[in-house]
Amino acid sequence: MCGLVDTAILTLDRSTFTFFGPSACASDSGLIFSVFLGPAVLNRDMYSVNAGYAAFYYYKTNAPFVLISRTGQSFYFTVNSYIHASRIAMGTFSGFAYRADGRSVEVKNGRFKIKLL
């Protein structure tokens, strides 16, 4: 996946967010992340926050999904920095995602930079 996130939404309690956008690598695919930080809350500058849970989806138009994370399986998501004044969060992700046929794929060295609204 490469490209720009076009939407990033933070919940009112500021502990959960979702971001998504199309891939610049293939015009008919994209990425969706839903992240639960609890007990952390993004209400001030923060660094090195590990998510309690992250759901990862990489999709292709007109297909159910290309890769998807699984509940209970290791998928790591870290907010390396969140600057409250700018609402910019940057960080990394890695773990295992699964194809429709059940085969696992290692996702590694993932990086993100998003503006949370």
pLDDT, tens only, 16-25: 999 998 887 7
Query: In which element (H, E) is residue 49 found?
Result: strand 46-50
Amino acid 1: pLDDT: 58
Is the separation of the CB atoms in 45 and 82 below 8 Å?
A: yes
Please check whether residue 79 is in contact with residue 51, taking contact to mean a CB–CB distance below 8 angstroms.
yes
In the predicted structure, residue 114 carries a pLDDT above the cut 90: yes
pLDDT over 90 at 94, yes or no: yes
Contact in structure between 19 and 40 (CB atoms under 8 Å): no
Beta carbons of 60 and 99 less than 8 angstroms apart: no
Question: Would you state the structure tokens that stand for residue 64, as one six-digit string?
Answer: 């159910």
Quote the pLDDT of residue 71. 79
Better-scored residue on pLDDT, 47 or 26: 47
